[in-house]
Structure 1
Amino acid sequence: MPSPFLSQSHGCQGWRGEMSERIRAFDWSTTELGPLEGWSHSLCNAVQFLLGSPVPLVMLWGRPGYMIYNDAYSVFAGGRHPYLLGSPVELGWPEVAEFNRNVMDTCLAGGTLSYRDKELVLLRHGKPEEVWMDLYYSPVPGDDGAPAGVMAIVVETTERMVSERRRQEAESAYREANERLHLALSSGAVRGLFVWDLETNLLSGDARFARTFLLPVEQVEQGLPNDRAMQMIHPDDFDHLNRQVEQTIALRVPFKAEYRIRQSDGSYQWVLASGRCEFGEQGQPLRFPGVLIDIHERKIAEDELLQLTHQLEQRVEAEVQARSEVEERLRQSQKLEAIGGLTGGVAHDFNNMLQVIAGNLHLLARLEPANERAQRYVQVALGAVDRGAKLSSQLLSFARRQQLQPTQCDPLRIYQGLGELFQRALGETIHLDVQLPRDSWPIYVDRNQLENALLNLAINARDAMQGEGTIRITGENVTLDEAFCAGKQVEPGDYVCLSVCDNGIGMTQEVLEHAFEPFFTTKPEGHSTGLGLSMVFGFVKQSGGHTEIISEHGVGSTVQMYFPRSARNAPDEEPQASDECSACGGETILVVEDDAGVRATAVELLQQLGYRVLTAANGELAQQLLDEGTRVDLIFTDVVMPGRIKSSDLADWARRQMPPVPLLFTSGFTRDVISRNQQLSADTHLLSKPYTPQALESMLRSVLAGRGAG
């Protein structure tokens, strides 16, 4: 039977409102309510009541709670209207589904619910909203009198609640501000209260304010020109104070300004002026009340903190810079170490080849003593061998593989023996300015290598000055600290610094970075091997010291060599060369050499010198000969050989014999097999390759002459 409420024949055309039309148009047959024409009498009456109410009402019908609501509720629903119409309430408001489930269970069981200022979070306009509502829920009976639905009255109180919250926050802020003001007034921090009358430009205040500005209390209480007080403010603070006043008046914001006030002793104290500007009905500024607070200690603390922060930043910056420099020096040192290892290996093989060439040239010269042409060719070739040997020596010096023979030295005595040589090498257009201390600490170095290093540096300085100018050679006792030694692979302690300084063209930063690398030179091709500075670097490092270059392009350069101070006792006198070099007596010499060419040349030279020669291609064969009882007068062995038995093992065997068997080493370089940092002990004898027959004979006689010692 058609519903009288919604049928035109029953007068429902008298109801107005958007929702009345939407309810008629909705297809209710898709819900459990069924078509509109079949609605029950109780449902129609409830809808009639709902549509006629100006209060937001929504009815939830049936167990699912199908939603039917009026125009006022549609406004509350926001963007969810009209999609809520006919939807089960838990689907319509899923964010509060549990809340609505409790409502349905309670009211369909005959109960009622009410909430005052219920806080919920709803999605009404596409985003979560915090809302407050008064909610009233009552059961709606069906035709049989049992609860068939729920009528909900929804009154939103969000605006009132937000206003109440803001009021409470404002009251709380006011109370806190008032408490702070009372606390400040009761503490000693407040320096006074003031009022500045902008229309009369008169400034008045309490006694504390007057004492702060060193003004008469009576005049301040009655009011005096503002300029009187301004005279006591630090001149550097005028502009800032005026800007703050102008900003407060123009923008109607609170006034705050920090400035200094002169005291009776001429010093200044920091204060904070805080206040506001009061305006008249026409918007004109009238009065400027405020409070003066003592902030002097705070400002002093802030300044100290600022200085501390600045110092800390400078220290951090310095530490970062120092670390970068250390890392760069470490990279440079590692690069030079790698190059040194390579050049040392090359020099070893090169010296072996030079020994074969030199040995055969000497043999050839002895075969044709009357052939002047042949002798001339041989001497030219031997000159080339000497140059090659010098080049190899420079490579070994850079690689720190040269054999050093250090002694206790006085730097002043070293130069005294070199003065004439330096002047001849440098030329008459170079002036030498030598400033060596007479109380210099002793150093333990190879004197010949030190002389070569000084001469190399002096020649470099001469070339940098294009042959004219003054070269200064200086020395000083210095103590290097940890900061200086960081990243330089040198230990802190006492050193003697020998410097060679010129006022030549200097070096660019790019040239300076490569100065110690072998074969690097800025001179024209053919004028330099590029090994001078690298040789100096290797020699000083091998002597336990450190080398630095200080240079500025267009100004000049200074090369500094730091040698550690020696703690050894100075010898009474320089060692004298032995006069004992007796003629060959036909001794038996065991030659141990893995290079066949070098071995054959050595055997030939020794035989021509009158020695009886035995040979072994490695340490194992040599040890086998000796263990079988072969008697020898001297072992002549290469230092570096393949195999299990090393040259050092042969040396140990020779020392254990009674009497000990003399042993003479030979090598291109030792790789620290028989030495420590290429510094030989007193009882170790080494003949460096390439060697001449004369050098070989002299060394053999010297070693044989000392047999039996120790």
Structure 2
Amino acid sequence: MPFPAQDHGCPGWRGEMARRISEFDWSATGIGPTESWSRSLTATVQMLLASPVPLVLLWDKAGYMIYNDAYAVFAGGRHPYLLGCPVESGWPEVAEFNRHVMNTCLAGGTLSYRDKELVLLREGKPEDVWMDLYYSPVPDDSGAPAGVLAIVVETTSRVLTERWRHRAEAELQETNERLQLALNTGAVLGTWVVDMQSGKITGDERFARTFSFSVEEAAKGVEHDAARRMIHPDDQSLLERLNSDAARIGKQFRVEYRIRRADGEYRWVQANGQCEFDENGEPTRFPGVLIDIHERKIAEQSLRQLTETLEQRVTDAVAARALAEEQLRQAQKMEAIGSLTGGVAHDFNNVLQVINGNLQMMAADAGGHPATLRRLSAATDAVKRGAKLAAHLLAFARRQPLSPTVLNPRRLLAGMSEMLHRSLGETVRIETVLSDDLWHVQADRNQLENALLNLAINARDAMKADGTLTVRAANRVLDAAFCHDKPELTPGEYVVFSVTDTGAGMSPEVLEHVFEPFFTTKPDGHGTGLGLSMVFGFAKQSGGHTLIESEVGRGTTVSLFFPRCREPETAEAVDQTSAPVGGGETILVVEDDADVRLTAVEMLAQLGYKVLTASSGDAALEFFHSDVPIDLLFTDVVMPGKIKSVELARRAAAHVPAVPTLFTSGYTRDEIVHHGKLDAGITLLSKPYRRDDLARKVRSVLRTSGEAAARAASVGKMTDREIAACVPSVAYDPPGGETTAREVPQQQTGSPEATPPRSPAHVLLVEDDADSREALSSLLGALGLDCTSVASAEEALPLVPAQRYDILCTDLTLPGMSGDNLARAVLREQPDVRVLLVSGYGSNAPIGDSIPGARMLGKPLDIAQLRQELAGWLHPSEAAS
């Protein structure tokens, strides 16, 4: 190897970059493996590694980058990605500049730049930087240019400092110029004469105003001490010394000092003068002039302060950047751990589901055999512990589906009192401190209780079951100063739950890791290390934050911050539904794991249902294309194949008759959970589930499906998050709120009834979301309309000259031209077209200038409202249905 990582006979070759260059797979680049490198290339790289100056070698026409440790520091977050990377790919924002460099130097030329200004991406944002750059060609063994050696020295700090200094000097020069102008225009603060025999000072009217004397006093002469009292105490000794020098040796008098004005403020002045002597050399008169220099002195002080604090500001900026980088690294680490733990929990829950399902079916077949039932009970308890472990992993990963409600903290903690006393034992004293008029919070009740219980149990263990546990809940208004070093928190109103113990506390080293999963200070077998990580993940998923304060020997306080909720408390609902059996309905089970699928089939069969199975969404879709009647779709969320679970559910809902969907998953990713909450209308059965849970969920979905069949269907902007369809479906009740329509302000009257009915009417549908476009197009077709659907205004406009349309139905927010501007363009071509504007912002979405005759409808669309808007074009039976 030509570049050993530790030593190659020259100290300059030691270092991190020597090791990286030696270990890099150069055979994947145009340079080739290091064993085949030319002597010229080898010598250049050796010289580069030995240099303390940032050097980078751009070799071959592509400019493959080889650089030293100093350049690695300059590269920042792009290191070590830049090693072996073509220069134009490594620095894409300055690719054209580097292309010019390569072309010039490979042709034998050289380039140099002094304080070259470039715009580079740093931390994802463009930033102006300045650099000294020197480029020279590097010959190969034949003497022809084969690469470019670049010296890169960033001068941004020096350039900015010089600019600041130049600005300050310019301001000072401008002040001096104003001072000179003021002198030339008579802006002098007065003239004075000291009688060296009597010591009295006489002056003109301006002198009198400056020293706050009356004009008469100044004309007659004021005592030296009277004038001295008006001078700032800090300046008096200097003034006296210069006065003495001027009177003793005739030295020119020039001094700057501050005079107290009538308002008590001090103002800077400059006194200039020269003592006069008689023929015997005795001082007789001392005339002088006062000049206003206040603005200049203020400017000088500002410049001096800038110079004195510049270094400190640079130090503070570097420290702030280091802190931000550390916070970013910590966030990335926690995110990576979260993704890993979420995936583990998913697979773990699938395993637990197989075990749990078989245990329950075995229990049903075991009869009354005591030993068998005891073993099955022990195994079931182990499954529950495993499910709890997986739930903690999902909580930390922020992947658990939450069911948030509006909670009253006082009522919540009162309900937990008995549970806390029972869990902590009699030796732990529990004190509850609640503020008056606690605000409401929005959170998952079970998860919040679980989080507080976890904190209480941790506190008990830290106190060795003997101490005082204090549970507090208080309202807090956080300001910007408090949130400055806590980027997860924003200023605002919060309810803070805190749990404080009198235990041993934790060292700073332990505090750095307390929220990481599986980290624990307890002995082996006494803790999973998931309690605090679960609390951390749950609070973050709920829009809150967790803070921990601890000191060795003084205990620990863990605080949970939840944003204030101004909605009324959610009434508690108790589900006393028993585990019902089926009535012979047919259920399609879609599950890619064969063991899980078999377990679900056996459970449902025991409950009295007919069961069909499919291993993927693609296979399940075949059942909907057949004549097989299906009453319920029971599908895993995470599925292989082209047809994903949400798409399969949407198609099931669009089937005639509609088929409702019940989802199941051990890890929902982002398909049906967004911002930590289940999407509106989604019914989810989390793995691992018990047979009774399955029975209740299935019966609930089937019952609700029957009730929903009589309701009007809703359609809206359909995404993976809103599994909605144009027919009723229990699993997809549309988001709450009544859909309304409003008339867009008109400049002239128009009536849709005036347009004669056409059969079939032609509709131009413009919607950029594919799912929503397909659903609404199907609905319009079902209503007997001829629908042409496109994804953008740019696709729609070429169709208008070739086809007469009766109705334009367009989303307001489109990727290119907006929906309202499209409507104006279509109306210019076809003035009689009926315009329906649809917006997810509701029926009051702004559109600028009004559109005559247009109607604005809010999403999700209500089918009754849509029929009303299209009544003039529908068959009477469709319009009335």
TM bucket (normalised to shorter chain) is: 0.5 to 0.7
Deviation digits for residues 499-535 of structure 1, max 9, x if unmatched?
3344655555544443332223344444332222221
Query: 2:590 maps to which residue?
Result: 592
8 A Cα contact 1:259 1:270, kept in partner: yes
Q: Distance in 1 between matches of 2:216 and 2:706?
A: 115
Query: 2:558 maps to which residue?
Result: 559
Deviation at 1:242, TM superposition (A): 5.9
1:445 paired with 2:460, answer no
8 A Cα contact 2:581 2:607, kept in partner: no
Q: Which amino acid aligns with 2:610?
A: R
Deviation at 1:373, TM superposition (A): 4.3
Q: Which amino acid aligns with 2:666?
A: G
Identity between Structure 1 and Structure 2 (%): 47
Report SS of the residue matched to 1:417.
Answer: helix
8 A Cα contact 1:551 1:558, kept in partner: yes
Deviation at 1:638, TM superposition (A): 1.1
Q: Which amino acid aligns with 2:475?
A: E
Q: Distance in 2 between matches of 1:516 and 1:575?
A: 33
8 A Cα contact 1:472 1:502, kept in partner: no
Greater relative contact order structure (CA < 8 Å, 6+ sep): 1
Q: Which amino acid aligns with 1:293?
A: L
Question: Which of 420, 424, 433 is the equivalent residue of 1:426?
Answer: 424
Q: Distance in 2 between matches of 1:619 and 1:540?
A: 34
8 A Cα contact 1:409 1:442, kept in partner: yes
Change (3 A) 1:461 1:233: same
Query: 1:476 maps to which residue?
Result: 475
Q: Please list, as runs of the form range in 1=range in 2, the aligned pairs for 1:565-584 lying within 5 A after superposition.
A: 565-566=564-565, 573-579=571-577, 581-584=579-582
8 A Cα contact 2:191 2:287, kept in partner: no
Report SS of the residue matched to 1:708.
Answer: helix
Q: Distance in 2 between matches of 1:582 and 1:353?
A: 26
8 A Cα contact 1:359 1:605, kept in partner: yes
Deviation at 1:630, TM superposition (A): 1.9
Deviation at 1:243, TM superposition (A): 6.5
Mark the runs of 5 or more structure 1 residues left unpaired by the alignment. 1-178
8 A Cα contact 1:473 1:498, kept in partner: yes
**Which shifted more, 396-405 or 620-629?**
620-629
**Which shifted more, 688-697 or 461-470?**
461-470
Q: Please list, as runs of the form range in 1=range in 2, the aligned pairs for 1:254-653 lying within 5 A after superposition.
A: 256-260=254-258, 270-274=268-272, 291=288, 293-295=290-292, 297-298=294-295, 301=298, 328-366=326-364, 368-369=366-367, 372-437=370-435, 439-466=437-464, 467-476=466-475, 478=477, 484=483, 488=487, 494-502=493-501, 504=503, 506-550=505-549, 557-566=556-565, 573-579=571-577, 581-653=579-651
Deviation digits for residues 276-299 of structure 1, max 9, x if unmatched?
789999xx9989957352547448
Deviation at 1:392, TM superposition (A): 0.8
Query: 1:188 maps to which residue?
Result: 188
Q: Distance in 1 between matches of 2:689 and 2:242?
A: 91
Q: Which amino acid aligns with 2:498?
A: S
8 A Cα contact 2:191 2:203, kept in partner: no
Change (3 A) 1:690 1:220: closer
Change (3 A) 1:357 1:271: same
Q: Distance in 1 between matches of 2:423 and 2:449?
A: 13
TM-score when normalising by structure 1: 0.61
Report SS of the residue matched to 1:401.
Answer: coil
Report SS of the residue matched to 2:673.
Answer: coil
Q: Which amino acid aligns with 2:597?
A: R
Report SS of the residue matched to 1:644.
Answer: coil
Report SS of the residue matched to 1:449.
Answer: helix
Q: Distance in 1 between matches of 2:191 and 2:507?
A: 63
Deviation digits for residues 51-93 of structure 1, max 9, x if unmatched?
xxxxxxxxxxxxxxxxxxxxxxxxxxxxxxxxxxxxxxxxxxx
Question: Which of 668, 685, 690 is the equivalent residue of 2:666?
Answer: 668
Mark the runs of 5 or more structure 2 residues left unpaired by the alignment. 1-178, 709-881
8 A Cα contact 1:329 1:487, kept in partner: no
Report SS of the residue matched to 2:351.
Answer: helix
8 A Cα contact 1:462 1:471, kept in partner: no
Flag the structure with larger Rg.
1
Report SS of the residue matched to 1:418.
Answer: helix
Report SS of the residue matched to 2:333.
Answer: helix
Q: Distance in 2 between matches of 1:538 and 1:275?
A: 77
Q: Distance in 2 between matches of 1:465 and 1:598?
A: 43
8 A Cα contact 1:184 1:190, kept in partner: no
Change (3 A) 1:520 1:203: farther
Change (3 A) 1:280 1:538: farther
Change (3 A) 1:674 1:308: same
Change (3 A) 1:406 1:288: same
Change (3 A) 1:580 1:384: closer
Deviation at 1:578, TM superposition (A): 4.9
Change (3 A) 1:234 1:491: closer
Deviation at 1:347, TM superposition (A): 0.8
Change (3 A) 1:185 1:546: closer
Q: Which amino acid aligns with 2:270?
A: L
Change (3 A) 1:387 1:278: farther
Query: 1:679 maps to which residue?
Result: 677
Deviation at 1:452, TM superposition (A): 1.0
Deviation at 1:557, TM superposition (A): 4.5
TM-score when normalising by structure 2: 0.50
8 A Cα contact 1:330 1:488, kept in partner: no
Change (3 A) 1:663 1:305: same
Deviation at 1:318, TM superposition (A): 8.5
**Which shifted more, 395-404 or 574-583?**
574-583
Report SS of the residue matched to 2:526.
Answer: coil
Change (3 A) 1:576 1:207: closer
Q: Distance in 2 between matches of 1:250 and 1:514?
A: 76
Q: Distance in 1 between matches of 2:217 and 2:489?
A: 76
Query: 1:654 maps to which residue?
Result: 652
Deviation at 1:685, TM superposition (A): 2.3
Aligned length: 526
Q: Distance in 2 between matches of 1:254 and 1:303?
A: 24
Q: Distance in 1 between matches of 2:356 and 2:202?
A: 109
8 A Cα contact 1:400 1:541, kept in partner: yes
Change (3 A) 1:242 1:461: farther
Deviation digits for residues 203-252 of structure 1, max 9, x if unmatched?
46544599677999999999999778656654433444466679999999
Report SS of the residue matched to 2:707.
Answer: coil
Deviation digits for residues 541-572 of structure 1, max 9, x if unmatched?
2223333345566555443333344465655x
Report SS of the residue matched to 2:613.
Answer: strand
Q: Distance in 2 between matches of 1:583 and 1:224?
A: 113
Q: Distance in 2 between matches of 1:458 and 1:450?
A: 12
